[in-house]
Amino acid sequence: MSIFVCKVCGHVEFGSAPDTCPVCHVPKENFQQKDNIFSEALEKSPEGGAKHAPVVTIKKECKLLEDEACTDVHVKVGKITHPMEDAHSIVFIDCYIDDKYVARISLRPGVYAAGCFHTKPGGKKLRVVEFCNLHGYWQTETDF
Ligand SMILES: [Fe+2]
């Protein structure tokens, strides 16, 4: 599948470039086709998967939105939790349902490389993308 990356905020779109970036709202011209972002990251850091591949846990019972049919998507970056330091940290975690972007968690060194998306029902395929300021893009795909 074709991959397009926003030059301004790093957001990734699958399939085609959007008219405007859903994260930073710049127009389509700011997207560059970069189909190999995930394989390039793995080539540069063959051992990097343990600290970068998102570990996804799906919880059908939401403890926060008890009255909704919410599915919690818990994400931890790396089986070995990725560091969050000024010089080396995870910048964001993006969530996609059926290859459509739904939400971003922006991170800073004051928090851990983890987060939760409270997703609405109906999706079949989940994709989680994270971006490390030193080691690039990593992803995990799974069924709901
Ligand atoms: Fe990293």
Same domain, 11 and 71: no
CA of 14 to the centre of ligand 1 (A): 23
CA of 15 to the centre of ligand 1 (A): 26
User: For 78-125, what is each residue's pLDDT tens digit?
Assistant: 999 999 999 999 999 999 999 999 999 999 999 999 999 999 998 999
Mean pLDDT of 118-133: 96
Same domain, 48 and 10: no
Other beta carbons within 10 angstroms of residue 32's beta carbon come to 11
Q: What pLDDT band is residue 37 in, cutting at 50, 70 and 90?
A: very high
CA of 8 to the centre of ligand 1 (A): 20
Instruction: Quickly tell me which residue has 């795909």 as its tokens.
Output: 141
Same domain, 17 and 7: yes
pLDDT computed for residue 144 by the predictor: 84
Same domain, 48 and 99: yes
Supply the pTM of this predicted model. Answer: 0.95
CA of 63 to the centre of ligand 1 (A): 31
User: Which among 99, 77, 71, 79 has a CA at the least distance from the CA of 90?
Assistant: 77
Same domain, 125 and 67: yes
Q: What residues make up the domain containing 46?
A: 37-143
Output 83-86 pairs: Cβ under 8 A, ≥24 positions apart.
Answer: 83/51, 83/113, 84/108, 84/109, 84/110, 84/111, 84/112, 84/113, 85/109
Same domain, 78 and 42: yes
CA of 133 to the centre of ligand 1 (A): 7
Question: What residues form DSSP beta bridges with 86?
Answer: none
CA of 108 to the centre of ligand 1 (A): 13
The structural domain count of the chain equals: 2
Percent of the chain with pLDDT over 90: 94
Same domain, 111 and 43: yes
pLDDT computed for residue 128 by the predictor: 98
Look up the CATH number of the domain holding residue 18: 2.20.28
pLDDT computed for residue 66 by the predictor: 87
CA of 39 to the centre of ligand 1 (A): 15
pLDDT computed for residue 27 by the predictor: 98
pLDDT computed for residue 61 by the predictor: 87
Same domain, 106 and 126: yes
Look up the CATH number of the domain holding residue 93: 2.60.40.730
Q: What pLDDT band is residue 19 in, cutting at 50, 70 and 90?
A: very high
pLDDT computed for residue 69 by the predictor: 92
CA of 118 to the centre of ligand 1 (A): 26
Same domain, 76 and 120: yes
